[in-house]
Amino acid sequence: MDFIGLCKKIISIESTPSTGNGEVAQFCAELCRGAGLEVTLQERSFRNQKNFNLLARPPNSKDPKEEVIFQTHLDTVEPGPLSHWAKTDSNPFYATIEGDKIFGLGAADVKLDFLCKLFALAQFKDEKFRKPFVLIGTYAEEVGMHGAQYIIESKAVNSKLAFIGEPSELQIVYANNGYMILDFKIFFSDIEKAHKNSPLDMARTQEKMFHGKAVHSSTPHLGDNAILKLVGYVAKLPRGTAILNASGGSSENTVPADAEIEIDGGKVFDSSVGDKLVLLFQELQKLEREFLNFDNRDFAPPSPTLNPGVLETKEWGLNLAVSFRITPEVRAHQLEEWIERFEKFSKKNGMECVRKRISPPALTPITGELVKGAIEISKRLSLPLKPITKASSTECSVYGQCGIESIVFGPGVSIGNSHTANEYNFLSHLEKAKQFYAEAVKRFCL
């Protein structure tokens, strides 16, 4: 199968959080073996799904003193509403090509990058290495970077340098924001539970849907958050209106394109989960105003952001997952102060705030060996030379905490493209990425 055929094939294999990356990891493992590489699979169970970290090395390179990491995550986000995938006939796993663009879930973020690395690295498998390469495909990056964390915990690599695959428009990314997710549990009162579980007068119930625009949560200003529209609607209802169901979004790190709510317009309580939801959003808006005090003009957006990403109805109430992008200006003590503030606020107002995930920012010195070498390669290939930052969080955060110099590099556009319907990559970018990785092997491994 040629390179384009493999691109279509790897997109066709679902590797969302709900399915795990097991099938795509096995497919990539066979490709690596077929290319003459030695493969190790780390099997892990995550969210009751079989997942794998894939590690592929040149033959006869066991137990090296030091190796160079080339890593790409093999999982994707959930696709969201299938009807939005107009470029792929409402099937996000059916890759289509128009001119220089290939469309499909994972085209940019980031499965095709793994193929670029494999095609580039495999041609050097029989060379004598100063520092051999290790090609890694990780699981569960989109939901907490669990695969990369297990690579470190299991001591599966011995490295000081890492190339992390994410769409960067073929630019060198030396720093990225931190990432945090807080779950807010908004509990039904006993009266609300009893009403919700009782026979309802369907003539009084009302359903309403809200539509927005999905984008990556690192750039929420480019999207249109449907959950915000839902909360705005609830704020206009009479205080205490009975909320029967409310939902929206499919992933914390995606701005939700759709949301819906069901209410009992004829039932009003002294207080409802709807009132608490509106109160919580008012507190989140206060925090957004404080974010403006932590600007970093090297980042776009320049200040921290937040995204109410997933709203679900549980038997005990509503669960709202909010993700936060944290610039390096926010120190650990300031972040802890914000979290504690929301924990106290939640307890006071009949809610609970749960820390679900915290990933620190990543910052690699631009004067270090890795960035300087990457710039040399980019110059030879006529690629952009100025190192940039990335608003989203990446697996560099994991490696940076262990003293491993890491940069992000990859084909495709991130902003306005990752985590959206009709995600695409450029075929020309894929070819340039293969060249970059081949030059990286020459520069850092041979």
Residues 5-15 as b or e (16 or more Cβ within 10 Å = b)? ebbbebbbbbb
Strand partners, 181: 323, 357
pLDDT on residue 61: 80
The dihedrals phi and psi of 226, each to the nearest 5 degrees, come to -70, -30
Residue-wise pLDDT tens digits, 91-133? 999 999 999 999 999 999 999 999 999 999 999 999 999 999 9
Q: What distance in Å separates the CA atoms of residue 172 and residue 371, rounded to the nearest whole number?
A: 8
pTM of the predicted protein model: 0.85
Q: What distance in Å separates the CA atoms of residue 81 and residue 182, rounded to the nearest whole number?
A: 24
Written as one string, the DSSP assignment of 178-234 is EEEEEEEEEEPPHHHHHHHTS---TTTEEEEEEE-B--BTTSGGGSB-HHHHHHHHH
CB atoms within 10 A of CB 432: 18
- Calculate the average pLDDT of the chain: 95
Strand partners, 207: 262
Q: How many residues does this entry show for the chain? A: 446
SS3 call for 272: coil
Q: What distance in Å separates the CA atoms of residue 440 and residue 160, rounded to the nearest whole number?
A: 14
The dihedrals phi and psi of 395, each to the nearest 5 degrees, come to -70, -10
DSSP state of 41: E
Residue-wise pLDDT tens digits, 60-86? 887 788 999 999 999 999 999 999 999
DSSP state of 324: E
Residue-wise pLDDT tens digits, 193-221? 999 888 877 768 899 999 999 999 999 99
- What integer is the mean pLDDT of 35-54? 95
Tokens 């051999």, residue?
132
Confidence of residue 1 (pLDDT cuts 50, 70, 90): confident
DSSP state of 128: P
Q: Exposure of 191 by Cβ count < 10 A (0-12 exposed, 13-18 middle, 19+ buried)?
A: middle
Written as one string, the DSSP assignment of 113-126 is HHHHHHHHHHTTTT
Tokens 């902003």, residue?
415
H or E element at residue 286: helix 273-291
Tokens 């905490």, residue?
401
Q: What distance in Å separates the CA atoms of residue 281 and residue 229, rounded to the nearest whole number?
A: 11
What are the angstrom distances between the C-alpha of 369 and each of 160, 176, 372, 404, 433? 10, 19, 5, 11, 20
> What is the helix, strand, coil percentage profile of the chain, to 5?
30, 30, 40
DSSP state of 78: -
User: Of the given ranges (120-124, 217-221, 360-364, 408-412), which has the lowest mean pLDDT?
Assistant: 360-364
